Amino acid sequence: MNVVNAAVRVRGLVKNHGRGQGRVHAVDEVDLEVPEGQMLAVMGPSGCGKSTLLHLMGGLERPSAGEVWLAGRRVDTLSERALARLRRRSVGFVFQAFHLMEELSAAENVELPALLAGRSRREARRRAGFLLERVGLLDRARHLPSQLSGGQRQRVAIARALVNEPLIVLADEPTGNLDTAATLDVLRIFEDLRSAGQTLVIVTHDERVAATADRLVSMRDGMFVDDTWLAGTGTGWLGGLIEMEG
C-alpha cells in the first residue's frame, strides 16, 4: 500500500526501555499500515507492547528507531511543538481511565481540545453540543464528571476525542472499566464511527470489542504474532450481542 493511502503507517518501529542487560524491547521491529476508514483491534497479554505501540502512533512517545507516518507525513522527526500541534489536530485519544477534567462540565471537557487547537469559543461550543448529542449525552452537558456514570464519562471522553475531527482515533482499553451495558453503548458508538469512515485503532483485552473490528492483530513480546481480517463479521456480531443482552 502506498503511504499516502494510509491513515497511519509505521516501519521498523522499535521502542526500548532501560539500558544494557536490563533493556526491554517494548516494541520490536513492528511494521503496520492502517488504511483510512479501518477499525483495527490490537490484543495481547499485559506488558506485550500494545499501549506503547498506540502511544508511538499518536506521538505520545518517541520511538527508539523506525518511522511513524500520519496521512503521508512523517511525524516522529517533528519538534515537540510541532508534534503537540499535530496531536491536537489529527489524533483523538480515548483512555481506560477517561482523563476528564473533574472541575469542568461534560461540555467544557469536550470544548477544551478545540479551544487549544485554535477554534473560536462559539465553534468549540457548537462542536461539543453536536458530539454530546451524537453520544446521547446532550442532557448531561452541564454535569460534572463526578455526576456521571462510568459509561457516561467514557462517552464524554469519546466526544472529546472527536471534537477536532481527527484523522485517527486511538483508544487504549476503552471499555476496561465499564459494565456490559456501558460497553455496548461504547461499541455502538465505535460501530457508528466505523460506518461513517472514521479510522480507529483500539487496544483491548475484551474479545467483544475486538470482534467488532475489521482487522485484529495480536502482539507478544513487542512483536506481531498474528494478523487477521475480520471484515464483514463485526457488525453482525455486535448486532447479535446487542439483541442477546437486550
| 58-74: pLDDT as tens digits | 999 999 999 999 888 89
For the segment 116-133, the average pLDDT, to the nearest whole number, is: 96
H or E segment to which residue 239 belongs: helix 234-245
**Per residue in 65-88, is it b (16+ CB within 10 Å) or e — as a string?**
ebbbbbbeeebbebeeeebeebbb
Q: How confident is the model at residue 17 (pLDDT cuts 50, 70, 90)?
A: confident
Please list, in sequence order, all residues whose beta carbon lies within 8 angstroms of the beta carbon of residue 34, skipping any fewer than 6 positions away.
6, 7, 8, 9, 40, 168, 199, 201
Quote the cell numbers at residue 89: 489536530
Query: What's the CA gap between 182 and 208, in Å, rounded?
Result: 13
Query: What's the CA gap between 155 and 152, in Å, rounded?
Result: 5
- The per-residue pLDDT of the chain, averaged, comes to 89
| 71-97: pLDDT as tens digits | 888 999 999 999 998 888 899 999 988
Quote the cell numbers at residue 97: 481511565
| Superfamily of the domain at 3-245 | P-loop containing nucleotide triphosphate hydrolases (3.40.50.300)
